[in-house]
Structure 1
Amino acid sequence: MHNSYWYYALLVLSISLFSFILFKKRNTQSLYLLLTNIGGAFLIETVIYNFLACYNYNPNFIKANEFYDNNLGAFVSNAFALPVVATLIAVFHLNWIWIIFFSGLFVGIEWLFLKLHIYSHNWWRLAYTGLGLPFYFAMAKIYYHWILRPSKGFQHYWILYLITGSLSASAHVLPIIFFSNRIYSPGWFENPGRDSIALGAIFYLCDSLYYCLLTKLSLKRNWIKYIFTGFLMYVVNLMLINAGILRSLVWWDIPYYVGLSILLLMLTEIIDKRLSQLPKIPFGYSSS
């Protein structure tokens, strides 16, 4: 059980650090930036972790399914530790010395987890982490710059897409991991857990794009979009079942994803408006 203690410690430290950020800043920009950073991390991990199998986590949270346990370890890293530190760097305008320091710190944590045998590399190397994290942290500073200067162009919708993706990915995949409510079987990998999570990742990337695009559609009767979205999600699920790609294992599975699609569309539209209405704060100014 010592495996999980280290991951719990990382989780508690990340939550405590973000609580400190919120206490000091007390603004919505910090929350939007965190969600943006999570969305960016999920996007990267979809490629290098889900499809290229770069490394493995062993937090020992879930004993019944090795890959789902592996995925939860990745979740601790990509939804908490890295995005929270990236948010800290951006909102407090920390310079490159701090970026290099935190990059080195995460390389050290990764090395420690390797030595403790609670994390392992396939083709990944510590050097890749050391080289990649400065760019990830630097992008957080750019994203914060965009959030503080709302616009309706590419920057606005890229931020909106990453935020929506962070919410959609978490709400889509976590029930699969914890409750085994459905199984995807596209036949991409021998491991059924990896196969299921990989298609779940593609699913969230596509539906997040759909929600963002639908925010551009203005209707007199806005409720039509929600009805259509729920119906479309229902049809897509039936098509996947009929194609033998999806197995729904509990009674609430399809109703959950239908309701989730409507909720995510509502949240996307709310966040879209809030991002547009955020005060235009000069970059470098610490808002309160």
Structure 2
Amino acid sequence: MSHNSYWYIGLSLISLTLLAYICFKKNTIRSFLHVLIMVQIAYSIETVIYIYLGSYQYHPKIIKNFAYYDSNIGALASNMLAVPVAATFLTTFRLGWFWKIVFIGFFAGVELLFVKLHIYTLYWWRIEYTSLGLPVYFMVAKWIYPYLLHPLKGWLHSLLLFMCTAPFLGTFHIIPIMVFQNRFYHPGWFTDPAHDTTAFASIYYVFGTLIVITLVKLQWKQGWIKLCVLTASFYILTLVLKNSEILDIRIWWDPYYYVLFPLLIYVISRAISKRLSFGASQASNNA
């Protein structure tokens, strides 16, 4: 394993330790839902500036065959763990601007260190942009948190359900592609096939999440019908992408996985929906 990897693994372990501390000290369910929402916000930002605008590239040297997939691993360490967990820590412990500045300085310092170590390359992005963007991100985290204290319904319930569900579907979708190269997408947006695949996957998982939460919110008494519709929807989506030559399947188990794993996401999303409807804090207290 390259020395590059240890830096990213170390950052991930620090983040997981902090997340465990949050869950131990605070309401586990509410904190976890808050982390999920902040992950989706980070994913959305990263989709724009990293995937489509080419802001920077990570070099953890964990995936050997495709440099862009390797870069995605670094992006996950930052956007699935480090930044969302920090935002939830600051919010749940109601820490003021002193600690926010400490964390902003920490992330700016990590960026600078990674650049100096040549394990992170900046293109048009600057560390100053991170330092200016994080205060906004932390304020959004603080604004969202109170909504998780009470039962939700209507459009706000749907929005937060989407934001809690999307990280699951997006992560379960892209990780096998990066590790096993079991499929490629060819929309023709970028010359690098790994970059092209990642870009299309960022659209795919949003569309897939909309299918899942639509079925979760439909008031059908026969739950098995929803599961059938869900499976059929992803099967048809696979056929359409395959026949249009956007999807290139490389491994035999790929179609089965991508048609069936949304069933697990549906189960997770339905559980989250109930928690949001009942109120995450009340649900935990009554458990």
Alignment-derived partner of residue 32 in structure 2: 31
1:137 aligns with 2:138: yes
* Whole-angstrom CA distance in 1 between matches of 2:155 and 2:124: 34
Q: Which deviates the most, 213-222 or 55-64?
A: 213-222
> How far is 1:127 from its partner?
1.1
Tell me how far apart the structure 1 counterparts of residues 142 and 18 of structure 2 sit (CA, whole Å).
Answer: 17
State the 1:279 CA deviation.
5.6
**What displacement does 1:225 show?**
1.0
Give unmatched runs, 5+ long, in structure 1.
Answer: 282-288
Please state whether the residue corresponding to 2:152 is helix, strand or coil.
coil
- Percent identity between matched residues is 43
Shift of 1:156: 2.1
CA distance in 2, matches of 1:189, 1:64: 18
Aligned ranges for residues 1-288 of structure 1 at < 5 Å?
Answer: 1-278=2-279
**Cα deviation digits, residues 210-267 of structure 1 (max 9, x gap):** 2222222111212111101101101110111111100111111111111112221222
Aligned-residue RMSD, C-alpha: 1.4
Check conservation: 1:41, 1:79, Cα contact below 8 A. Answer: yes
Task: Report how many aligned residue pairs link the two structures.
Answer: 282
Deviation digits for residues 20-73 of structure 1, max 9, x if unmatched?
111112521011111111111111111111111110000111111111001100
CA distance in 2, matches of 1:216, 1:170: 22
How far residue 280 of structure 1 moved from its aligned partner, in angstroms, is: 6.0
Normalising by structure 2, what TM-score? 0.95
> Which residue identity does 1:239 align to in structure 2?
V
Tell me which amino acid in the other structure corresponds to 1:79: M
Q: Which amino acid aligns with 2:92?
A: V
Give deviations 1:73-126, integer Å, cap 9, x for gaps: 001000011011011011111112222221121111101111111001111011
Find the residue that maps to 2:217 and give its secondary structure: coil
Amino acid paired to 2:139 = A
Q: Secondary structure at the match of 1:59?
A: coil
Distance 2:151 2:58 in 1: 37
Matched-pair contact (CA < 8 Å) for 2:185–2:247: yes
Query: Unmatched 5+ residue regions in structure 2?
Result: 283-287
Contact 2:29 2:280 in 1 (8 A): no
SS in 2 for 1:247: strand
Q: Alignment partner of 1:127: what SS?
A: helix
The amino acid that maps onto 2:113 is L
Deviates more, 1:113-122 or 1:19-28: 19-28
Q: Secondary structure at the match of 1:156?
A: helix
SS at match of 1:56: strand
Structure 1 residue matching 2:248: 3-state secondary structure? strand
Letter in 1 for 2:163: L
Contact 1:21 1:30 survives alignment (8 Å): yes
> C-alpha displacement at 1:178, in angstroms?
0.7
Q: 8 Å contact 2:30–2:280 — kept in the other structure?
A: no
Q: Is the contact between residue 29 and residue 281 of structure 2 (CA under 8 Å) also seen in structure 1? A: no
The structure in which a higher percent of residues are helix is: 2
| Structure-2 separation of matches of 1:30 and 1:150 | 15
2:285 corresponds in structure 1 to none
Contact 1:146/1:156 (CA < 8 Å) preserved in 2?
A: no
